[in-house]
């Protein structure tokens, strides 16, 4: 094989209703290399890997494996040929154990028919050890955190001992520690001869792990180059077709007086948490995964009840017995899990746009005003630059970046007084991030206070006027924008920062 290429994609084209996702794309993967595939949301990265994994069939083009043309009719066909894919959407089954998920339909057996439970647990523990996960193989997946589930999905793919491993946004829910463990495992697999396709919007990760980089834009191949000869700015320019300036933007107006306060809040993983928010302020909430940030946000929004504490908005106490009351009071919550908890994936863009504020579009008899709904949805599509053939498009067919912008559009529709934005740019490309940051800046300029929860420290530092750090369910430290750095925030989150609260 020329250049020791194990997998070659030639002239791959794939069209969906209203959009050409891939347009004669070429891609080559060498034996024992990590090849990064980058591009904006909607560039065609995931579609190309769905074809590699046997989920989609190309309209035209050829897949060549080991120098021979192949056709995959299913994911099973691809797996039999040594290809494993970790997709963005996890495939785990919550009511099954860790071991049952990792070895689904291929558990070790004895006497020809009976599952060998001891061998199953032993093999599972060996895999868990690769990420230092202190979990019982019998633990049900539904009881795991999002980060732990992400690791289990990766271990499931690794358990096949694949010749080709595709990782599509594998670190989107991982802690920094788990990310480094993944990278060490990738080096180990690479040394064993496994070829890896790595898809990520985190370009710093790309430079840390990749041997070569291929850029896609608008479904077309732009360039393939050695990673060592590229810079982050050069990749971004190839991805978006232009040079991006300061993607975080600048404050456009003065911060107003305090108007929202949480005092002594407690429930589940957090306790005695107090914070305040001023009009037009972006308050960053940093911390390690499991520090209690999302649990606090859900409780403030009324998803789960507070066991202690007090919330006031504009001087009036709020008694939130559910999200409906929170919305009526002027609170919005942009969830970290847009697919599972944020959007109605099987419904249209039009229906999703109005979901949090249905009452605004109903007459006295409760009948929906279809004309107003259509006008609002079209206006939201235009304002938030949601790329879709029509507002009737099913949301599940949108790219991740457009789904995220739609989620933001939904909450803007209720004209919130306070917006809690939990991981607002998770799984979106640098171009979409820039657009989302601009939208958040615009919202803050109107006087809306924003609580920004993010595991991306550069995002926290770039957007926040003030930063609170959570550790083990408590507020561990506070930093103003001018004295906040990655180092002191990480140190505070880990409990070693000198500026942390006692």
User: Which range in 244-248, 352-356, 418-422 is most confidently predicted, on average pLDDT?
Assistant: 418-422
Is 298 part of a structural domain of the chain?
Answer: yes
From the list 102, 232, 229, the residue with the least C-alpha distance to 155 is 102
Q: What is the reported pLDDT for 145?
A: 78
Q: What is the reported pLDDT for 258?
A: 96
Last residue of a domain, one of 207, 240, 273: 240
Structural domain of residue 420, as residue ranges? 258-341+415-494
Q: What is the reported pLDDT for 116?
A: 87
Q: What is the reported pLDDT for 55?
A: 93
Last residue of a domain, one of 213, 240, 267: 240
- Cα 488 to Cα 479: distance, rounded to the nearest angstrom: 9
* Mean of all residue pLDDT scores within the chain: 89
Provide the domain count of the chain: 2
Last residue of a domain, one of 172, 206, 240: 240
The half-sphere exposure of 1 on its side-chain side, counting CA atoms within 13 A, is: 16
How does residue 253 score in pLDDT terms, banded at 50, 70 and 90? confident
How does residue 502 score in pLDDT terms, banded at 50, 70 and 90? very low
Checking if the pLDDT of 336 tops 90, the result is no
pLDDT in tens, 6-28: 999 999 999 987 678 899 999 99
Q: What is the reported pLDDT for 1?
A: 43
How does residue 498 score in pLDDT terms, banded at 50, 70 and 90? low
- Do 153 and 297 sit in the same domain of this protein? no
CA distances from 477 to 230, 334, 402, 489, 495 (A): 38, 24, 34, 8, 10
Helix/strand/coil (H/E/C) assignment for every residue in 422-457: ECCCCCCCHHHHHHHHHHHHHHHHCCCEEEEECCCH
Q: What is the reported pLDDT for 297?
A: 93
- Do 216 and 277 sit in the same domain of this protein? no
- Do 229 and 290 sit in the same domain of this protein? no
How does residue 226 score in pLDDT terms, banded at 50, 70 and 90? very high
pLDDT in tens, 193-209: 999 999 988 888 999 99
pTM for the full predicted model: 0.68
Is 212 part of a structural domain of the chain?
Answer: yes
* Under 8 Å between Cβ of 372 and 361: yes
From the list 282, 311, 306, the residue with the least C-alpha distance to 467 is 282
- Do 162 and 302 sit in the same domain of this protein? no
Is 272 part of a structural domain of the chain?
Answer: yes
- Do 70 and 140 sit in the same domain of this protein? yes
Listed in sequence order, the residues at least 6 apart from 365 whose beta carbon sits closer than 8 Å to its beta carbon are none
- Do 193 and 270 sit in the same domain of this protein? no
Is 469 part of a structural domain of the chain?
Answer: yes
What mean pLDDT is predicted for residues 394-416?
87
Q: What is the reported pLDDT for 74?
A: 92
Is 456 part of a structural domain of the chain?
Answer: yes
Q: What is the reported pLDDT for 365?
A: 81
Q: Which of 19-33, 321-335, 397-411 has the lowest mean pLDDT?
A: 397-411
What mean pLDDT is predicted for residues 303-322?
92
- Do 172 and 226 sit in the same domain of this protein? yes
How does residue 483 score in pLDDT terms, banded at 50, 70 and 90? confident
- Do 205 and 309 sit in the same domain of this protein? no
- Cα 363 to Cα 379: distance, rounded to the nearest angstrom: 21
- Cα 219 to Cα 88: distance, rounded to the nearest angstrom: 18
How does residue 400 score in pLDDT terms, banded at 50, 70 and 90? confident
Is 130 part of a structural domain of the chain?
Answer: yes
- Cα 463 to Cα 252: distance, rounded to the nearest angstrom: 12
- Cα 100 to Cα 438: distance, rounded to the nearest angstrom: 44
- Cα 101 to Cα 190: distance, rounded to the nearest angstrom: 25
- Do 228 and 264 sit in the same domain of this protein? no
Token digits for 329? 């009071």
Is 109 part of a structural domain of the chain?
Answer: yes
- Do 264 and 176 sit in the same domain of this protein? no
- The CATH number for 223's domain is 3.40.50.300
Is 391 part of a structural domain of the chain?
Answer: no
Q: What is the reported pLDDT for 361?
A: 87
pLDDT in tens, 456-471: 888 999 999 999 999 8
3-state secondary structure of 106: coil
Task: Determine what percent of the chain is predicted with pLDDT higher than 70.
Answer: 97
- Cα 302 to Cα 320: distance, rounded to the nearest angstrom: 5
């Amino acid at each position: 094989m020329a250049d020791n290429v194990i997998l070659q994609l030639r002239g791959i084209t794939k069209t969906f209703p209203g959009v050409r996702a891939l347009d004669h794309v070429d891609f080559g993967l060498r034996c024992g290399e990590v090849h990064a595939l980058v591009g904006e949301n909607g560039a065609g990265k995931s579609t190309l890997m769905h074809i590699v994994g046997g989920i989609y069939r190309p309209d035209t083009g050829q897949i060549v494996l080991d120098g021979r043309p192949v056709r995959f009719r299913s994911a099973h066909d691809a797996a039999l040929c040594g290809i494993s894919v970790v997709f963005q959407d996890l495939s785990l089954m919550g009511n099954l154990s860790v071991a049952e998920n990792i070895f689904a339909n291929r558990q070790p057996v004895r006497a020809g028919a009976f599952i060998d439970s001891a061998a199953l647990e032993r093999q599972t523990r060996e895999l868990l050890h690769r990420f230092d996960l202190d979990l019982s193989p019998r633990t049900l997946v539904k009881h795991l955190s999002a980060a732990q589930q992400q690791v289990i999905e990766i271990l499931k793919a690794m358990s096949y001992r694949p010749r080709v491993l595709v990782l599509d946004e594998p670190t989107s829910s991982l802690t920094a520690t788990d990310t480094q463990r993944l990278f060490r495992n990738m080096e180990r697999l690479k040394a064993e001869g496994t070829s890896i396709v790595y898809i990520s919007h985190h370009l710093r990760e790309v430079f840390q792990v990749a041997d070569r980089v291929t850029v896609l834009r608008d479904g077309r191949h732009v360039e393939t180059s050695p990673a060592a000869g590229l810079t982050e700015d050069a990749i971004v320019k190839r991805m978006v077709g232009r040079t991006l300036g300061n993607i975080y933007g600048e404050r456009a107006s003065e911060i107003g007086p305090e108007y929202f306060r949480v005092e002594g809040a407690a429930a589940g993983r957090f306790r005695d948490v107090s914070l305040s928010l001023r009009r037009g302020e972006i308050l960053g909430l940093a911390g390690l995964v499991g520090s209690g940030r999302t649990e606090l946000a859900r409780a403030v929004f009324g998803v789960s009840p507070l066991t202690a504490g007090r919330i006031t908005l504009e001087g009036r106490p709020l008694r939130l017995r559910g999200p409906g009351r929170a919305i009526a009071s002027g609170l919005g919550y942009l969830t970290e899990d847009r697919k599972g908890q944020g959007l109605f994936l099987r419904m249209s863009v039009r229906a999703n746009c109005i979901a949090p504020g249905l009452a605004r579009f109903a007459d006295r008899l409760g009948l929906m005003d279809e004309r107003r709904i259509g006008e609002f949805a079209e206006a939201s599509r235009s304002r938030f630059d949601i790329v879709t053939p029509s507002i009737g498009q099913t949301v599940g067919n949108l790219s991740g970046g457009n789904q995220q912008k739609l989620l933001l559009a939904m909450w803007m529709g209720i004209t919130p007084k306070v917006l809690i934005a939990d991981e607002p740019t998770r799984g979106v490309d640098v171009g979409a991030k820039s657009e989302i940051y601009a939208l958040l800046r615009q919202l803050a300029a109107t006087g809306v206070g924003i609580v920004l929860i993010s595991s991306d420290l550069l995002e926290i530092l770039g957007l926040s006027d003030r930063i609170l750090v959570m550790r083990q369910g408590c507020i561990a430290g506070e930093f103003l924008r001018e004295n906040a750095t990655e180092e002191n925030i990480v140190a505070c989150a880990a409990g070693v920062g000198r500026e942390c609260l006692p």
